[in-house]
Amino acid sequence: MPEVANYQFDHPMGTIYGWFSRKGLTQLRLPTPETRYERIPVLHSSMNDMRVWELHTLLTRYFEGVVQTFDTIPLDLSAGTMFQQAVWETAQSVRWGETSTYGELARRIDRPRAARAVGQALGANPVPIIVPCHRFLAHSGGLGGFSAGLEWKRALLQTEGNNA
């Protein structure tokens, strides 16, 4: 992980950090119980980057419960495999307040037997919230997993009015 972030968003559950490349957002890190109090320096020059201001505005509205899409935030997901990129791209079609399953997402990328691999790709999602991996549940309707922990997954779903 880079030592200096481009972006910082203070949230009651901990600080969210973001990193941008020239192409777009490469990582948005939600705090875990282990990293909740960790502080990462932020580039002062990044405040001149309009993408930082746009992301801040969208996340502020999102956490206020205002329906948001993050379509205006350019993404650089080139660090992922082709399979992961396909999963992340298709995951973005599940909109605010909706949920789907890992199996359904596997079917949508024409890999119907790859539900477990889809779950792993979602777990490796470098930009949670922006690529809404929290909107995917296990076939049983259970929460499944989430890279930042199930507390975050529940909180994000509740923000969107979904009490799955």
Side chain identity, residue 136: F
Q: How far apart are CA 134 and CA 20, in angstroms?
A: 22
Name the residues annotated as catalytic.
133
**What's the angle, vertex CA 54, arms to CA 65 and CA 93, rounded to 5?**
60
Residue 5: alpha-carbon gap to chain centroid? 16
Torsion angle of the four alpha carbons 7, 11, 13, 16, in this order, in degrees rounded to the nearest 10: -10
